[in-house]
Structure 1
Amino acid sequence: MNKIFASVALASMVVASQAASALTVGFSQVGSESGWRTTFSESVKAEAERRGIDLKFSDAQQKQENQIKAIRSFIAQGVDAIVVAPVVETGWRPVLMEAARSRIPVVIVDRNVDVGNSRLYVTRIAPDFVDEGRKAAGWLMDATGGDCDIVELQGTVGSSAAIGRMEGFNEVLAEYPNAQIVRSQTAEFTRSKGKEVMESILKAEGGGKNLCALWTHNDEMALGAIQAIKEAGLQPGKDILVVSVDAVDDIFTALKAGDVNATVEMSPHLGGPAFDVIDEYLKGKRDFEKWIVMDGEVFTQQNYQAEYNKRMGAE
């Protein structure tokens, strides 16, 4: 009987030891403003579960103050590491200094932070937003011969995604004197605002019949704007070309329908690379690149089919 009790006790100690060794990671997410963002969150959660990581997830609902509160809560809980997808670039230095003082490594994913000292975070795992803008503009200039009046729907003002995509797009546009952005307004990365803002722009542009193209900083705004274009009696993808960024599942349906012409892929699967970095850091590695770039393809009406089949389970 004593041997049985001893075995049970030993098994309990092993389980307790395994539980104690499991990583606890705090993840502060921007929100759930888009299909891409939701997929991003679900991907991180699934990857954490697969690795046995205790993930403390916080949805900031698009508010930086909520993210700062969440990070301070993670610090108070003594998590092993923190992952942050920041709403905007500025305003992070004080709370990241608090994490550094507590010796808690921070990994930035997706959007960037401007803290003046890159030692306050381990690395940033994200696409090149500027290059995404270049790719979108490059496709549009090729499609139109560089002669185009463009409407732009910007993302969240102050976010690195909006800043970078705008910079890259405008960089390419500067090489084409007959291409110009005639209207530019934020639609906050959401489908509902995309529709609302596009309705307003179409009215201001006399119904939109003289517009060549719509350039949006993400697919959700494009999908909302497409509805506005249709309700105005125009055909998106033909009367007004549509190019955007993210490559979410819904945009492939729109590509198939001919409503969208091109989208630049932005992978939402950032959890695996982030957890890899955290694991290596906690094992003693310190020489990380400060920016681990995630690249993406440009999907168009001409090349979307294979990816569409894969996502929709047709292969």
Structure 2
Amino acid sequence: MNKTLMGLALASLLGASQLASALTVGFSQVGSESGWRTTFSESVKAEAEKRGIDLKFSDAQQKQENQIKAIRSFIAQSVDAIVVAPVVETGWRPVLMEARRARIPVVIVDRNVAVTDDRLYITRIAPDFVDEGRKAAQWLMEATDGRCDIVELQGTVGSSAAIGRMEGFNEVIGKHPEASIVRSQTAEFTRAKGKEVMESILKAEGGGKALCALWAHNDEMALGAIQAIKEAGLKPGEDILVVSVDAVDDIFTALLDGEVNASVEMSPHLGGPAFDVIEAYLGGKRDFEKWMVMDGRVFTQENAKAEYEKRQAN
């Protein structure tokens, strides 16, 4: 985790401990399209309760217009701060300007916003999506000696997660002339769409026997695609290698069963760092990095067991 995150609690002691019990924070979440997203929401709610923060939670159901309405509602309620996990990158300037005029600080978590004026938010707390794509591709290129016909399941079109993961993955495989993406289609970060789209791709690819690997932008799509692969009479993890991002609990079962080969971790526990920033800001701190990077490990069939047992014990 970024060192700045670790120091925020100390930095906020100037006044945040008194502020926390009285804070009202609005949180606009993308939706509940995946197990990772659900864990993320639950983690934020639990952290708010632990700190005595009155959390105004809004589920956008993956629609930006719902998020904009929620943020305007938070502004009308005069909340102390707003946390946003954006559906897509663009289209945020007007509503963020409204929050700024109302003197309500905003923290961006997870996906990014594309605005030219970074004064419209305090900081963004998120992983490096490009690096996640690189890690997934590096594992796959090492596993296949750089020779692989790949199917890609993209996340939500226009989201920074999909854009970044695609960029990082393509950067790595671009260095391997015998590796290429032969099919690429969005499955909207959901398990149901992952299955549906993979079924279509396998039919288009003559049953999929010539395919080397599936690269999914998140675990939910990978898990859906695995069902399609099995129903097509192929063995996921063997006939078609599977690599994805998130490292949710369900993916560890698939790793241990040999149906997934690798998953890049993306921590869903962003609430604590976000509230640390808000408390520090309201306590007088102003010098924040504009992007606080959350690091993630790569889990494979070789190292999944220890992590899975650790999670089950907690």
TM-score strictly above 0.5: yes
| 2:228 equivalent to 1:228 | yes
| 2:161 equivalent to 1:158 | no
Q: How many residues in Structure 1 have an aligned counterpart in Structure 2?
A: 297
Q: Deviations over 1:222-243 (max 9, x none)?
A: 0000000000000000000000
The residue type paired with residue 253 of structure 2 is: T
TM-score normalised by length of structure 2: 0.93
Q: CA separation in 2, counterparts of 1:301 and 1:213? A: 16
What's 1:112 paired with?
Answer: 112
What's 1:272 paired with?
Answer: 272
RMSD over aligned CA atoms reads 1.1
What's 1:167 paired with?
Answer: 167
The residue type paired with residue 269 of structure 1 is: H
Larger Rg, first or second structure (1 or 2): 1
The residue type paired with residue 257 of structure 1 is: D
Alpha-carbon shift at residue 305 of structure 1 (Å) = 1.1
The residue type paired with residue 33 of structure 2 is: E
Other structure's SS at 2:103 match: coil
Of the two structures, which has the highest relative contact order with CA contacts closer than 8 Å and spacing of 6 or more?
A: 2
Percent of aligned pairs sharing the same letter: 86
Q: CA separation in 2, counterparts of 1:301 and 1:20? A: 42
Structure 1, unaligned stretches of length 5 or more? 1-17
What's 1:10 paired with?
Answer: none
Q: CA separation in 1, counterparts of 2:240 and 2:19? A: 56
Q: CA separation in 2, counterparts of 1:168 and 1:297? A: 16
What's 1:24 paired with?
Answer: 24
Structure 2, unaligned stretches of length 5 or more? 1-17
Is the CA contact 2:151–2:183 (under 8 Å) kept in the aligned structure 1? Answer: yes
Other structure's SS at 2:165 match: helix
The residue type paired with residue 85 of structure 2 is: A
Q: CA separation in 2, counterparts of 1:40 and 1:19? A: 24
| 2:74 equivalent to 1:74 | yes
Alpha-carbon shift at residue 121 of structure 1 (Å) = 0.2
What's 1:91 paired with?
Answer: 91
Other structure's SS at 2:306 match: helix
The residue type paired with residue 67 of structure 1 is: Q
Q: CA separation in 1, counterparts of 2:20 and 2:284? A: 19
Other structure's SS at 2:143 match: helix
The residue type paired with residue 156 of structure 1 is: T
What's 1:39 paired with?
Answer: 39
The residue type paired with residue 283 of structure 1 is: G
Moved beyond 6 Å, runs of 4+: none
What's 2:143 paired with?
Answer: 143
What's 1:12 paired with?
Answer: none
What's 1:3 paired with?
Answer: none
Pick closer, same or farther for the CA change 1:220–1:21 going to 2, 3 Å.
closer
Q: CA separation in 2, counterparts of 1:158 and 1:20? A: 35
What's 2:305 paired with?
Answer: 305
Alpha-carbon shift at residue 312 of structure 1 (Å) = 2.1
